[in-house]
Chain A
Amino acid sequence: MTVREVVSGVRWYLREVAGESAYDRYVEHRRREHPDEPVMTRRAFERWRQDEREARPQARCC
Chain B
Amino acid sequence: MRAKSIAIWSAVAIVGAVAWGVIALMRDEAISAAWLIAAAVGSYAIAYRFYARFIQYKVLGADARRATPAERLNNDRDYQPTDRRVLFGHHFAAIAGAGPLVGPVLAAQMGYLPGTIWIIVGVIFAGAVQDMVVLFFSMRRDGKSLGQMARDEIGPVGGAAALIAVLAIMVILLAVLALVVVNALADSPWGTFSIAMTIPIAFFMGFYLRVLRPGRVLETTAIGVTLLLIAIAAGGWVQDSSLADTFTLEAETLVFCLIAYGFVASVLPVWMLLAPRDYLSTFMKIGTIVLLAIGIVVTLPVMQNDAVSEFASTGKGPVFAGSLFPFVFITIACGALSGFHSLIASGTTPKLIEKETQVRFIGYGAMLMESFVAVMAIIAASIIDPGLYFAMNSPAGATGGSVESASQFVNGLGFTISPEALQSAATAVEEESLVSRTGGAPTLAIGMSEIFAGATGEGLRAFWYHFAIMFEALFILTTVDAGTRVGRFMLQDTLGNVYKPFREVSWKPGVWLCSAIIVGAWGYFLYAGVTDPLGGINQLFPLFGIANQLLAAVALTVCTVLLIKHGKLKWAWVTGIPLAWDATVTLTASYQKVFSGDPTLGFFAQRDRFQDAIANGEVLAPAKTMDDMNKVVTNSTVDGILAALFAVLIIVVILDATRMCIKAIRSRELLPTTEVSAEESTLDAPDGLFDRKREAVA
A62 touches B177 (CB 8 A): yes
Are A54 and B269 CB-contacts (below 8 A) given A20-B215, A59-B483, A62-B333? yes
Residue of A26, A29, A59 near B347 (CB, 8 A) is A59
A23 to B173, CA, bound (A): 36
A33 to B562, CA, bound (A): 39
A56 touches B548 (CB 8 A): no
Residue of B78, B274, B340, B485 near A61 (CB, 8 A) is B340
Chain B nearest Cβ from A60, distance in angstroms: 4
A58 touches B482 (CB 8 A): yes
Residue of A14, A53, A62 near B97 (CB, 8 A) is A62
A9 touches B692 (CB 8 A): yes
Complex interface: chain A residues within 8 A of B344 (CB): 58-59, 61
B482 touches A59 (CB 8 A): yes
Q: Which of A28, A45, A57 gathers the greatest number of chain B CB atoms within 10 Å? A: A57
Q: Which of A13, A18, A26, A45 gathers the greatest number of chain B CB atoms within 10 Å? A: A18
Residue of A16, A32, A57 near B86 (CB, 8 A) is A16
A18 touches B279 (CB 8 A): yes
A62 touches B479 (CB 8 A): yes
B334 contacts the other chain (CB 8 A)? yes
Chain A nearest Cβ from B190, distance in angstroms: 25
Q: Which residue of B lies closest to A17 (CB)?
A: B89
A29 touches B692 (CB 8 A): no
Chain A nearest Cβ from B373, distance in angstroms: 12
Q: Which residue of A lies closest to B505 (CB)?
A: A55
A47 to B210, CA, bound (A): 7
B661 contacts the other chain (CB 8 A)? no
Enumerate A4-55 residues with CB–CB distance to B below 8 Å: 9, 12-20, 22-23, 25-26, 28-29, 32, 42-43, 45-47, 49-55
B28 contacts the other chain (CB 8 A)? no
Complex interface: chain A residues within 8 A of B486 (CB): 57-59
B1 contacts the other chain (CB 8 A)? no
Binds A, one of B45-53, B216-224, B321-329, B417-425: B216-224
Summarize A's interface: helix, strand, loop or mixed: helix
Enumerate B337-384 residues with CB–CB distance to A below 8 Å: 338, 340-341, 343-344, 347-348
Complex interface: chain B residues within 8 A of A49 (CB): 215
A23 to B485, CA, bound (A): 27
B338 touches A61 (CB 8 A): yes
A15 to B221, CA, bound (A): 12
Are A58 and B347 CB-contacts (below 8 A) given A12-B694, A17-B89, A26-B76? yes
Are A45 and B505 CB-contacts (below 8 A) given A50-B275, A62-B97? no
B85 contacts the other chain (CB 8 A)? yes
Chain B nearest Cβ from A50, distance in angstroms: 4
Complex interface: chain B residues within 8 A of A14 (CB): 218
Q: Which residue of A lies closest to B333 (CB)?
A: A62
B193 contacts the other chain (CB 8 A)? no
Complex interface: chain B residues within 8 A of A12 (CB): 694
Complex interface: chain A residues within 8 A of B100 (CB): 62
Residue of B270, B338, B483 near A54 (CB, 8 A) is B270
B340 touches A43 (CB 8 A): no
Enumerate B672-698 residues with CB–CB distance to A below 8 Å: 692, 694, 696, 698
Q: Which residue of A lies closest to B169 (CB)?
A: A62
Residue of B214, B343, B696 near A46 (CB, 8 A) is B214
A60 touches B78 (CB 8 A): no
A60 touches B482 (CB 8 A): yes
A17 to B698, CA, bound (A): 17
Chain A nearest Cβ from B83, distance in angstroms: 6
Are A47 and B214 CB-contacts (below 8 A) given A12-B694, A28-B698, A29-B76? yes
Are A60 and B97 CB-contacts (below 8 A) given A13-B85, A50-B275, A52-B77? yes
Chain B nearest Cβ from A42, distance in angstroms: 6
A42 to B209, CA, bound (A): 12
Q: Which residue of B lies closest to A26 (CB)?
A: B76
B566 contacts the other chain (CB 8 A)? no
B217 touches A61 (CB 8 A): no
A58 to B216, CA, bound (A): 21
Residue of A18, A51, A55, A60 near B483 (CB, 8 A) is A60
A47 to B215, CA, bound (A): 9
A50 touches B341 (CB 8 A): no
A15 to B219, CA, bound (A): 10
A60 touches B94 (CB 8 A): yes
B90 contacts the other chain (CB 8 A)? yes
B271 contacts the other chain (CB 8 A)? yes
Complex interface: chain B residues within 8 A of A51 (CB): 269, 271
A53 touches B694 (CB 8 A): no
Complex interface: chain B residues within 8 A of A57 (CB): 270, 274, 482, 485-486, 489
Chain A nearest Cβ from B460, distance in angstroms: 27
Complex interface: chain A residues within 8 A of B77 (CB): 52
A13 to B692, CA, bound (A): 11
B698 touches A59 (CB 8 A): no
11 A-B pairs besides A20-B217, A57-B482, A61-B344 with CB distance below 8 A are A17-B86, A42-B215, A54-B270, A56-B348, A57-B274, A58-B486, A60-B93, A61-B340, A62-B98, A62-B102, A62-B548
Q: 21 interchain pairs (CB within 8 A)?
A: A9-B692, A13-B85, A14-B218, A18-B218, A20-B217, A22-B215, A25-B696, A32-B698, A42-B214, A46-B214, A50-B275, A52-B77, A57-B482, A59-B94, A59-B483, A60-B93, A61-B95, A61-B97, A61-B99, A61-B340, A62-B334
Q: Which residues of A come within 8 Å of B, CB atoms?
A: 9, 12-20, 22-23, 25-26, 28-29, 32, 42-43, 45-47, 49-62
Q: Can you list the 9 inter-chain pairs with the closest CB atoms, starting with the nearest?
A: A62-B99, A46-B214, A18-B217, A46-B215, A57-B485, A50-B271, A60-B482, A16-B86, A60-B479
Q: Which residues of B come within 8 Å of A, CB atoms?
A: 76-78, 83, 85-86, 89-90, 93-100, 102, 173, 177, 209-210, 214-218, 221, 269-271, 274-275, 278-279, 333-334, 338, 340-341, 343-344, 347-348, 475, 478-479, 482-483, 485-486, 489, 505, 548, 692, 694, 696, 698
